């Protein structure tokens, strides 16, 4: 089963959940949830799973629990598939 890691730059407290685009190999993601008690992390992982058509359990946080720069592991998808599925500037 394919898997990959994805580097993210996250922005909590955004007006809505959205993909803000790619910064090189780093995906910029906005989440509506506040950065309190892990709520933004959980919202981020659920949002990515929904956008990629993956079950929530297939998206896990590897690094960056308390940082805006995060690394997530995606099970069942390759990085090329992720880049094809998430365009340069989509919401």
pLDDT digits (tens, 9 = 90+) for 51-62: 999 999 999 999
- Residue 16, pLDDT > 90, answer yes
Q: 42 CB contacts (<8 Å, ≥6 apart)?
A: 33
- Residue 91, pLDDT > 90, answer no
pLDDT tens, residue by residue, 32-58? 999 999 999 999 999 999 999 999 999
Q: If you search the block for the tokens 């394919």, which residue do you land on? A: 2
- At 35 the three-state DSSP class reads coil
Nearest in space to 91 (alpha carbons), one of 37, 34, 14:
14
| Strands ordered across the beta sheet of 18-23 | 18-23, 26-30, 3-11, 69-75, 59-63
Domain at 3-85: CATH code:
3.30.1200.10
Helices and strands per DSSP (H, E), number in the chain: 2, 5
């Amino acid at each position: 089963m394919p898997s990959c890691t994805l580097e993210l730059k996250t922005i909590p407290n955004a007006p809505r959940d959205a993909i803000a685009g790619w910064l090189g190999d780093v995906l910029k993601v906005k989440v509506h949830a506040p950065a309190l008690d892990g709520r933004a992390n959980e919202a981020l992982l659920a949002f990515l799973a929904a956008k990629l058509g993956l079950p929530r359990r297939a998206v896990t946080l590897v690094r960056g629990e308390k940082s805006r720069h995060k690394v997530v592991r995606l099970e069942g998808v390759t990085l090329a598939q992720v880049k094809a599925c998430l365009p340069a500037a989509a919401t």
